[in-house]
Amino acid sequence: MKIAVLSRVAYPLHGVGGFERHVGSMVRHLVRKGIDVTLYTAPNEEEEEEEDRAGAALDGARIVCVLYRSIPWPRRPGFVIADRGTNYLLWSLRAGRLARVDCPDVVQAEGAAGFGYALLRKAEGPPMVVHPVGMEEFKASGLKRAGYLPLRAAARFAAGRAERVIVPDRVMMDEVRRYLAVDAARTVVLPTPIDLEEVDRPVSPAARDTILHRLDVGSSKTVFLSVGRLESNKGFSILVDALARVQENLPADWLWILVGSGPEASRISGWLSELGLTRHVRLAGRVSDEELSALYDRGDLFLHPTLYEGSSLVTLEAMAHAMPVVATTAGGIPDKVEPERTGFLVPPGDAEAFGAAILEALSARDRWADLGRAGRRRVEAAFSWSGRIESLVNVYRELLEGPCR
């Protein structure tokens, strides 16, 4: 079976975000199932001018790098939406053309990456599976929402031409059908998994000691951990507000570690200073895989205040590391975090409720180990690649009706 995967980013070629990790893990596990996979993606920043490259290995997958930056928008936060509404769509046209010429059995598109293939495909061409990601373009507000109009149209067009649309979590079914205007007959629920092999890979003592020393994480501290891109939709400003509201009731040695980078970094730092929280907070920036794993292992409570979300792979990673979770009910999180069993849930955007949930979690500190173990079991049972990859391959098999014509 020959599968073309269209995704602008994938780990380890690009960053280490949840989406990038998902695509990289999916490609590796497809290859291990004996699938012939070609990944069409953008070059990394060091190879930005290279239009395409084949033959690089991702556990034996073929990788084709397709030129991304047609319009040289400045690399500043204010131009991200303009970039996604122009360069991303132009990239999807190039990637879709190359995939169509290569004549795979099935095309899988991540997010709106399938727009180009959907536009260029012939009626008898290979079927397409679309996997929506966070669908941020449908959930943004104000000027940001207006700027995302081209991306929304592209995502709907791709989903409308797809034979199957993957719903990343059961609770997201209505959301996917509403935003992408797809009927139930063309949807299939396949929970987005994580790679437990990566989670369980031992961390070297040197990497662990380096990151804990750099962040001054003492063995006696109560450590809250958050991971994500520092942008407004992740809700970290809400969490800063929540911590400020309840700081007098927190343990004297509490420490919040925030891992990630992004346009909100300086603003978050300013808020922390204004509220007098700086000494209790570590802005870790980007960290290596080993360092992140060490922080998951050291953390006591995972805090995820996101305002809107897709499947939330960082929540799964925390649960896989046996961390209890305080999170919002955004996106697919309620499919993962079970109140009183694996963590605590609050409405998105409510700083008072989030602060109260942190205090509730602290009052149940004697149950953290049980909550963490239950979270790990939940991941193993429903969100690991072992079962998910076979379900995905079965979707491909159902769609195959004959050779590419």
**Alpha helix (H) ranges present in 9-113?**
18-32, 80-102
SS3 24: helix
Q: Is the pLDDT of residue 133 over 90?
A: no
What pLDDT score was predicted for residue 54? 45
**Alpha helix (H) ranges present in 218-308?**
236-246, 265-274, 289-298
Same domain for 264 and 225: yes
Lowest mean pLDDT segment, chosen from 59-63, 358-362, 377-381: 59-63
Cis check for the bond before 12: say yes or no (omega within 30 of 0): yes
Q: Which of 164, 156, 157, 161 is nearest to 186 (CA)?
A: 164
- CATH number where 170 lies: 3.40.50.2000
Instruction: Tell me whether residue 255 is in a domain.
Output: yes
Same domain for 58 and 186: yes
Local confidence band at 47 (pLDDT 50, 70, 90 cut-offs): low
Question: Residue range 47-51: average pLDDT?
Answer: 50
Give the distance, in angstroms, between the CA of residue 9 and the centroid of all CA atoms in the same chain.
11
Which residue did the predictor score with more confidence, 315 or 57? 315
Same domain for 170 and 56: yes
Same domain for 82 and 32: yes
Query: Residue type for 398, please?
Result: E
Look-up: residue for tokens 């346009």? 263
Hey, which residues does 257 pair with through a beta bridge? 225, 282
pTM given for the model: 0.82
Same domain for 175 and 266: no
Q: Which of 43, 15, 39, 13 is nearest to 26 (CA)?
A: 39
What pLDDT score was predicted for residue 46? 55
Burial 69-95 (b: 16+ CB within 10 A, else e): beeebeeeeeebbebbbbbbbbbbbbb
Phi, psi of 362 (to 5 degrees): -65, -35
Reading the block at residue 330, the tokens are 């955004």
Local confidence band at 65 (pLDDT 50, 70, 90 cut-offs): very high
Instruction: Tell me whether residue 293 is in a domain.
Output: yes
Same domain for 362 and 301: yes
Task: List the domain range (segments joined by +) for residue 314.
Answer: 197-382
Pairing of strands 164-167, 62-65: unpaired
pLDDT tens, residue by residue, 163-213: 999 998 888 898 899 999 999 899 999 988 988 988 999 999 999 999 999
CA distance 72 to 52: 18
Hey, which residues does 188 pair with through a beta bridge? 166
Which residue did the predictor score with more confidence, 17 or 14? 14
What pLDDT score was predicted for residue 55? 42
Hey, which residues does 194 pair with through a beta bridge? 384
CA distance 329 to 305: 9
Instruction: Tell me whether residue 405 is in a domain.
Output: no
Local confidence band at 20 (pLDDT 50, 70, 90 cut-offs): confident
Instruction: Tell me whether residue 44 is in a domain.
Output: yes
Number of domain units in the chain: 2
Instruction: Tell me whether residue 147 is in a domain.
Output: yes
Q: Cβ distance 7 to 113 under 8 Å?
A: yes
Instruction: Tell me whether residue 404 is in a domain.
Output: no
Beta strands in 50-154 (DSSP E): 62-65, 106-110, 128-131
Exposed/middle/buried for 167, CB within 10 Å: 0-12, 13-18, 19+? buried
Pairing of strands 301-304, 325-328: parallel
Q: Is the pLDDT of residue 56 over 60?
A: no
pLDDT tens, residue by residue, 248-281: 999 999 999 999 998 899 999 999 999 999 999 9
Local confidence band at 337 (pLDDT 50, 70, 90 cut-offs): very high
What pLDDT score was predicted for residue 351? 97
Q: Is the pLDDT of residue 86 over 90?
A: yes
Question: Residue range 93-115: average pLDDT?
Answer: 95
